[in-house]
Amino acid sequence: MKISALTRSVVTRNHAVICPDGYVNSVVPGWTNCRVNVIINEQMGAGLGQTLITAEIGTVISGHTETSQIFFYVISGQCTAKVDENEKTLLGGHFVYVPTGHSYHLDECTTGTQIVTFHKVYEPLKGHEHPPFIFGNAEKIDGPAFLGDPALRLQVLLPEDLSFDMAVNIFTYDPGGHLPFVETHIMEHGLLYLQGQGVYMLDHKWYPVQKGDAIWMAPYCQQWFTAMGKEPAVYIYYKNVNRFPT
């Protein structure tokens, strides 16, 4: 065991940087023979949930969505996912979105398969159907330049349709690429680095971040990022969208 009193993890009232060195596993009913790290949750003041699942031998991730929808994204490895009676093999970059009121069952995972999940209590919208379940592959989704800057590319994984109240996007920054301005917005983010490194500014504090780190940004947490190093920095992130701001 590596023993250390040092960490880059920070938890504040409106943002957190959670690095793997601080993980302590949780037992989640229905999610068996796997390591589950609950990285973002309402206990810290968040409006979303975010977990990281690492598969062991005989992993089964099974349940029925009640009030919260769940988005599963395979970071690496392989598994089989079933939503109700619909089954698919998922590889790295594949995802499955499970709206409320559906059964899900993931198994046949290769050992070490990593899956990040985003959870949000669904807010229905009058005049709109609940969203459908979706199987997808990030590789097949275009990543147009973000606000005209070819150094930044944004892939939007879920349909831009008012029935959805959450978005999950993948943001790729070439080395030296950076957000064009400091964002100050009502939407909340949960985020996980898939590749690379850089520096994130959260409420005027500066954090070095890298692959494997997660960030929570509460509404109005001011945010800016610049990528560094020799390879693009890539993160997958959650955002609440499409609902009237009460």
Report what 171 binds from Mn ion, ligand UGY, none; CB cut-off 5-8 Å by kind.
Answer: ligand UGY
Q: Which of 59/198 has CB closer to ligand UGY?
A: 198
Do 159 and 188 contact (CB within 8 A), yes or no? no
Residue 189 CB, nearest approach to Mn ion (Å): 6
Q: Which of 104/193 has CB closer to Mn ion?
A: 193
Taking CB under 5 A as the rule, which mask of x and - marks residues 176-215 in contact with Mn ion? -------x--------------------------------
Q: How far apart are CA 139 and CA 121, in angstroms?
A: 28
Size of the site for ligand UGY (CB under 6 A): 5
Site for ligand UGY in 114-143 (CB under 6 A): none
Q: What is the number of alpha carbons within 13 Å of residue 157 lying toward its C-beta?
A: 27
Residue 171 CB, nearest approach to ligand UGY (Å): 5
Residue 237 CB, nearest approach to Mn ion (Å): 8
CB within 8 A of 37, min separation 6: which ones? 23, 24, 25, 26, 51, 52, 54
Residue type, 4: S
Site for ligand UGY in 152-211 (CB under 6 A): 171, 183, 189
Q: How far apart are CA 133 and CA 150, in angstroms?
A: 32
Residue 239 within binding range of ligand UGY, rule CB under 6 A: yes
Q: Which of 107/183 has CB closer to Mn ion?
A: 183
| 13-16 LR contacts (CB < 8 Å, sep 24+) | 13/45, 13/218, 14/45, 14/203, 14/217, 14/218, 14/220, 14/221, 15/202, 15/203, 15/215, 15/216, 15/217, 15/218, 15/221, 16/40, 16/44, 16/214, 16/215, 16/216
Residue 236 CB, nearest approach to ligand UGY (Å): 11
Site for Mn ion in 128-187 (CB under 5 A): 183
- Give the footprint of ligand UGY on this chain (CB under 6 A): 171, 183, 189, 223, 239
- Give the footprint of Mn ion on this chain (CB under 5 A): 183
